[in-house]
Chains A and B, each alone.
Chain A
Amino acid sequence: MSRFFLRRLLQSAVAIFGVVTLVFFIQRLAGDPTLLMLPDGATRDDIETLRHQLGFDRPLAVQYLDYLWDLLRLDLGQSLIQRIPVLDIMASRVPYTLYLASGGLVVALGVGVPVGIVMAVRRDTRLERFLAAFVLIGQSMPTFWSGILLILLFAVTLGVMPSSGVDGFRSIILPSIALGALTMATFARVTRTAVLEELGRDYVSTAQAKGLLFRRVIRRHILRNAATPIITISALEIANLLAGAVIVETVFAWPGLGQLAVQAIAARDFPIVQGIVLLGAFVSIALNLAADILYSAVDPRIRLEGKT
């Protein structure tokens, strides 16, 4: 088991290295940020001077090795635009994305799980079909659309929520709803499937035969057994939530990593983009590994590599 784990760890390291290299070269294919940094009317000399000072006139291979060397010393570099260490900038944005992702997860679980339970219990009824469509609403609209609708309704018209930014606890509610709506359906479905499987088990019919309160049966036993796949899926869906956060953060002016990434890519602030992608890859791979371990810990019969 541990040899397998070690192998996976090694492969994960290779994957992270691959990600970093891929993004490094793709970004530089498009050019460098020198032109973006200069005012209108900068002469060819001005451009070349700045380009040389920033080191972009060196061969790509040299720039790459320089970057790797820094990376090995855990130096993510400085933002080209802000001249502040990338680590500092990212560190100040990470909490916001975490808050938003957590908020989204809370919404997705808070709606998805109960709906999933109802869907399982009322299987093949019109209610189930209605709920299936209901949770899919969030996945059927672009978030920039649902976002602005939420803002218009709750912030501008009703005035009960702040329209953007970070300003007290209420400001996380609308973005969380917009984000959580993206994965509600997934949780509903997983819950439904898990609960259905439990419902088919003997102990349920025994309990029903004994006349125990059905709801108590659900709460005590079914949910406990169904919790595992829900938790496993949570680990995987977090990656989706983080990706969805990119647009949600832009619409709601939420100062997280997603918004930072979009701006940094447009400004060709390479060190920041590389830093964020590195972090994203790290988190994604770690979550995958965690989900695999969780699942194998629960059910050692299941082989981890290659099972559907």
Chain B
Amino acid sequence: MKRWSRSLGFAALAAAMAFSGAVTAKDLFVVDLVQEPASLDPHVQWNPDSYFVYRNIFDNMVTRDDEGKIVPQVATSWRQVDDSTVEFALRSDIKFHDGSALTAEDVVFSVKRITNPEFKSPQLGQFNSIVDAIATGPATVQLKTNGPYPVLLAQLVKLSIVPRAHVTQVGNDRFNQSPMGSGPYKFVSIQRGVKTTLARNDAYWGPKGVFTTVEFHAVPDPATRVANLRSGKADLIVTINPDLAAEIKADNRIKVLSVLSERVAYFHLNSLTGPTADLRVRQAIAHAIDKQGIIDGLMGGYDKPVATMMAPVHVGYVEGFKGYAYDPAKAKALLKEAGITPNTNFTLFTSPTFDQRIVQAIQQMLIEVGMKVSLTSSDFAGWLKRAQSSPAEFGEMTFSRWSCGCQDADGVLFPLFHSSSSWAKSRDAEMDKALEAGRSSLDLNVRLQHYKRVHEIAEATLPLVPLYQAAILYGARKELRWRPTPNESFFLNRMAWDG
């Protein structure tokens, strides 16, 4: 209870100190995030602004290289012992920031911590296929899964290893406020709402970062982030839209960095109730949307149209699907055939979190082929609720983008299409079977066969219209050399300065 008065005093002092002027170091690197990290305990939150920061404080079991391939990190190699057991060999030279060694015990502890329902981790659902973790030696761990689980490695990319001894000693609350890991950067301090500071870990076992100190600032307003970049206050800013990117391009001291991510934008339709339950109506909608027009006209050309919900960065992507061509005449004909009149009401529900230009552009395209589409908006929590509600409450259609953070079909297609998922607004027994088969085989080719079937059914029955693979845009100083990754990983030690 006394703690809060201490925080007050400290904050007042900090504010006074902040007012007395910041220290500008040449190897200080400033990143503007949208919001401050909610939590730096890697198991507590699912939140981009948080993991941009804590990914650098902690090491994960495995990681992805810049090409997107899964490569060793804490685990150096792995082998499938049997269908539901994988054995991992760990590096022996990793030290936490307090000098203690990272052992198999820490890995086991981390797995058990995040899969414990009482820990209340929102990430539980991504790891709960792991039913047990056993240290079979000081540097080997066996993970047991619930049946064959081909997505295990993809999910382990996100599992950060925390120090068992330290966490047990200081408790979860203290650890949350003062995290300690084994990564290339150490946690220094957090000034709530202002900035989070990291310092380079000079004893890091892997590639060391170039920057000595890194500050993450919370700047909610995108126009202000761009202003910060232009005035030199920030070196790298996240989450800008293509129109702001144009402003950045106009200034030759800064540049835009882009990557085609694993986010895929789609237009979800209700296949079970309402006017969209008629396949012809869904086909008409697919023909009415000019994907390339949206990409070129609104998105600055950064994104890429897709015919299925998968992009080349996903496991489960299958080539050869054409999708539905932009054909407003055909759309009108289909609507007429299905008996849609100018009085049939269609509701497009959305939320300000989505790019309203795209939502409005799609609405306009549908209006132009004769559909009476009205927009209704709510806050994001309201949108999430409606998107996962019953078909009757869902309405007819919505625009969204999907990312599982796993670059695997199972994390995308299963929740969107399988009848057991609250997201799915369609039902197809064969689709269900193919999805279940896809997630229970460890053989990549077998999986791809099943997912090919899923794509075929999806193209024929149109539970949703896949739109485009979203590009993620960053703004940076001209001299920054960095290749953003499709899974938005944000590793500071992969960034450097030119020359």
Which A positions have Cβ atoms within 8 angstroms of B? Answer: 30-31, 33, 35-47, 49-50, 53-54, 74, 81-85, 87-96, 99, 148, 151-152, 155-156, 159, 162-169, 171-172, 250-253, 255-256, 259-260, 263, 266, 268
Say if the beta carbon of B169 comes within 8 Å of chain A: no
Contact between A39 and B39, CB atoms less than 8 A apart: no
Contact between B19 and A46, CB atoms less than 8 A apart: no
8 nearest CB pairs, A to B: A255-B193, A41-B415, A46-B125, A87-B4, A91-B8, A35-B384, A92-B11, A92-B192
Residues in B neighbouring A169, C-beta threshold 8 A: 19-21
8 additional contacts (CB under 8 A) given A88-B4, A91-B5: A39-B122, A43-B422, A91-B11, A92-B7, A96-B15, A151-B224, A168-B22, A266-B379
Contact between B193 and A93, CB atoms less than 8 A apart: yes
Contact between B219 and A155, CB atoms less than 8 A apart: no
Which B positions have Cβ atoms within 8 angstroms of A? Answer: 1, 3-5, 7-8, 10-12, 15, 18-22, 35-36, 38-39, 41, 44-47, 117-118, 120, 122-126, 128, 172-173, 176-177, 191-195, 217-221, 223-224, 227-228, 230-231, 233, 379-382, 384-385, 388, 402-405, 411-412, 414-416, 420-423
Q: Which of A50, A165, A252 contacts B124 (CB 8 A)?
A: A50
A43 to B118, CA, bound (A): 18
A53 to B308, CA, bound (A): 37
Contact between A263 and B15, CB atoms less than 8 A apart: no
* Smallest Cβ-Cβ distance to A256: which chain B residue: B193
* Smallest Cβ-Cβ distance to B383: which chain A residue: A35
Contact between A95 and B45, CB atoms less than 8 A apart: no
Residues in B neighbouring A89, C-beta threshold 8 A: 192
Contact between B411 and A41, CB atoms less than 8 A apart: yes
What are 11 A-B residue pairs whose CB atoms fall within 8 Å in the complex? Answer: A38-B125, A41-B415, A81-B45, A83-B176, A84-B173, A91-B4, A94-B11, A95-B8, A163-B231, A165-B233, A168-B22
Residues in A neighbouring B423, C-beta threshold 8 A: 41
Contact between B38 and A95, CB atoms less than 8 A apart: no
Contact between A155 and B227, CB atoms less than 8 A apart: yes
A28 to B223, CA, bound (A): 32
* Smallest Cβ-Cβ distance to A53: which chain B residue: B120
* Smallest Cβ-Cβ distance to B47: which chain A residue: A81
Contact between A95 and B11, CB atoms less than 8 A apart: yes
Q: Which of A31, A95, A251 contacts B382 (CB 8 A)?
A: A31
Contact between B381 and A31, CB atoms less than 8 A apart: yes
Residues in A neighbouring B382, C-beta threshold 8 A: 30-31
- Contact A156/B117 with A81-B45, A82-B38, A169-B19 known, Cβ cut-off 8 Å: no
* Smallest Cβ-Cβ distance to B37: which chain A residue: A82
A163 to B223, CA, bound (A): 10
- Contact A38/B44 with A91-B7, A165-B217, A255-B193 known, Cβ cut-off 8 Å: no
A167 to B215, CA, bound (A): 13
Residues in B neighbouring A43, C-beta threshold 8 A: 125, 415, 420-422
Q: Which of A40, A50, A82, A85 contacts B415 (CB 8 A)?
A: A40
Contact between B39 and A81, CB atoms less than 8 A apart: yes
A99 to B15, CA, bound (A): 9
Contact between B404 and A41, CB atoms less than 8 A apart: yes
Shortest beta-carbon distance from B394 to chain A in Å:
14
* Smallest Cβ-Cβ distance to B10: which chain A residue: A92
Residues in B neighbouring A47, C-beta threshold 8 A: 388, 422
Residues in B neighbouring A36, C-beta threshold 8 A: 380-381, 384
Contact between B123 and A39, CB atoms less than 8 A apart: yes
Contact between B122 and A253, CB atoms less than 8 A apart: no
Shortest beta-carbon distance from B400 to chain A in Å:
9
Central interface residue in A87, A155, A164, by most chain B CB within 10 Å? A164
A44 to B423, CA, bound (A): 9
Residues in B neighbouring A95, C-beta threshold 8 A: 8, 11-12, 15
* Smallest Cβ-Cβ distance to A162: which chain B residue: B233
Q: Which of A31, A53, A152, A266 contacts B227 (CB 8 A)?
A: A152
Residues in A neighbouring B12, C-beta threshold 8 A: 95
Residues in A neighbouring B194, C-beta threshold 8 A: 165-166, 255
Contact between B4 and A253, CB atoms less than 8 A apart: no
Shortest beta-carbon distance from B199 to chain A in Å:
19
Contact between B385 and A31, CB atoms less than 8 A apart: yes
Contact between B21 and A168, CB atoms less than 8 A apart: yes
A61 to B159, CA, bound (A): 38
Contact between B118 and A53, CB atoms less than 8 A apart: yes
Shortest beta-carbon distance from A174 to chain B in Å:
11
* Smallest Cβ-Cβ distance to B404: which chain A residue: A41
A88 to B4, CA, bound (A): 5
Residues in B neighbouring A263, C-beta threshold 8 A: 35, 220
Q: Which of B36, B46, B219 contacts A38 (CB 8 A)?
A: B46
